[in-house]
Amino acid sequence: MADTGGYLRIILDGTAFLLPGNAAAAVERRENLRVEGGGDRVGAWRVSGRDRWPALLLDRGLKLLRAGSWQQAVFVRSDPQPVGLLAASVEPLTELDVTVERFTSPGAAPTARGPLFSGAWVRGTDIVLQFDPDALAAYLSQLRTNQ
Amino acid sequence: MKSARSTESLHALEVPTRVVSLLVPSTCVAEVVPRSTYVPVPLSPDWVLGVMSWRSRPVPVISLEPLIDPGSVQSGIQNSDGTGAQRRGSKIVIFYPLPGRNPWEFFGIVTSAEPQSRVIDSGEGSVVAAVPGSKIIAMTIQVGDAALAIPDLDALAALLYP
């Protein structure tokens, strides 16, 4: 999958987040991923030919989990290769479904690519934060390499 | 006969926190709203309590106490019902974006009690002292019985948006 628009609603540990659809290199179901034990930070891999894309499992606070329930993965475009987020579900939404307002997280950014969130979808008192794709990719890469 | 000396007034809002009461120009304040639920913002500093909906905008809510006095207790810790209404009269003061910032960057500050409008006449307040160790308080002034802290908005902007 390589969505060209809209958003993906990603459920992590019971909490929803948004990702712009065009930031996703692929969305995969669990059965299409390779799960390897051994204490690595990577929860699963997307293997296609010589390409191996890692995917990480995070809690709602975006801290790394060693184990937990997930059904899908969304892989965020990144250099040199996409890096993935394991989720309970990943649901595509059109731009008609979602209105994202700009949002700046106060405080120091967790990555050199800036704040992790750049927008939010507000519905009444319910708010869904939208990831900044570059910052999310940087954060996931950072988590993977900080052994 | 009209006095040659003119008196200028500053319309301000007293914003109580657990550490000190701030005095801010009313022109900085968009609205004072009741406490409501806010959604956590992952990986934020502990003084960022979350994000709330205000006029269909996402507005970050912060507790100033740790920024004024790192050893202090925050006003904004939420109760189990998620409302955070731990003290009668506690409100959220919605500030306009700080000078030089983006037009969507409103932010809310949790108060420890009901904010009060004040009209300060020129010459009414006397400077008490600078606040040592506080990065965001420019000075403290004595107005009547109250010591009120004047925030350094540039310093606050530097902390919020480093």
pLDDT, tens digit, 9 for 90 and up, residues A90-114 = 999 999 999 999 999 999 998 889 9
Number of structural domains (chain B) is: 1
Distance CA A16, CA A120 (A): 11
B3 located within any domain: no
Whether the pLDDT of residue B81 is over 50: the answer is no
A122 → closest Cβ in B41, B47, B56: B56
Q: Which residues of B touch A106 (CB under 8 A)?
A: 44-45, 48, 60, 62, 107, 159-161
For residue B84, the model assigns a pLDDT of 45
Q: For residue B60, give the nearest of B80, B74, B76, B81 by alpha carbon.
A: B76
Q: Which residues pair with B117 in a beta bridge?
A: B13
Distance CA A3, CA A25 (A): 8
B104 → closest Cβ in A102, A124, A129: A102
Whether the pLDDT of residue B133 is over 60: the answer is yes
pLDDT band at residue B130, thresholds of 50, 70 and 90?
Answer: low
pLDDT band at residue B129, thresholds of 50, 70 and 90?
Answer: low
Q: A130 near A10, Cβ under 8 Å?
A: no
Please tell me if residue B60 touches chain A, with a CB cutoff of 8 Å: yes
Q: A116 near A139, Cβ under 8 Å?
A: yes
Percent of chain B with pLDDT over 70: 78
For residue B10, the model assigns a pLDDT of 83
Burial class (CB in 10 A: 0-12, 13-18, 19+), B60: buried
Q: Average pLDDT in the A128-140 region? A: 96
Mean pLDDT for chain B?
A: 84
Q: How many residues does chain A have?
A: 147
Q: B72 near B65, Cβ under 8 Å?
A: yes
B103 located within any domain: yes
B104 located within any domain: yes
Percent of chain A with pLDDT over 90: 77
Distance CA A20, CA A23 (A): 6
Whether the pLDDT of residue B123 is over 50: the answer is yes
pLDDT digits (tens, 9 = 90+) for A6-52: 999 999 999 999 999 999 999 999 999 999 766 678 899 999 998 99
pLDDT band at residue A1, thresholds of 50, 70 and 90?
Answer: very low
pTM (2 d.p.): 0.88
Whether the pLDDT of residue B152 is over 50: the answer is yes
The three-state secondary structure class of A53 is: strand
- Which range marks the domain in which residue B40 is found? 9-160
Q: Average pLDDT in the A112-126 region? A: 93
Give me the residue label for tokens 């712009």: A20
The three-state secondary structure class of B71 is: coil
Distance CA B20, CA B112 (A): 10
Distance CA A130, CA B162 (A): 20
B1 located within any domain: no
Q: B60 near B125, Cβ under 8 Å?
A: no
Q: Nearest 10 degrees: CA dihedral of B30, B35, B38, B43?
A: 80
CATH of the domain at B109: 2.40.50.180
Burial class (CB in 10 A: 0-12, 13-18, 19+), B84: buried
B4 located within any domain: no
Q: Average pLDDT in the B13-30 region? A: 94
B135 located within any domain: yes
Distance CA A88, CA B120 (A): 56
pLDDT band at residue B79, thresholds of 50, 70 and 90?
Answer: very low
Whether the pLDDT of residue B86 is over 60: the answer is no
B2 located within any domain: no
B62 → closest Cβ in A106, A116, A139: A106
Whether the pLDDT of residue A2 is over 50: the answer is no
Q: For residue A52, give the nearest of A63, A36, A31, A70 by alpha carbon.
A: A36
Q: A106 near B60, Cβ under 8 Å?
A: yes
B132 located within any domain: yes
Q: Which of B13-22, B54-63, B71-80, B90-99 has the lowest mean pLDDT?
A: B71-80
Whether the pLDDT of residue B83 is over 60: the answer is no
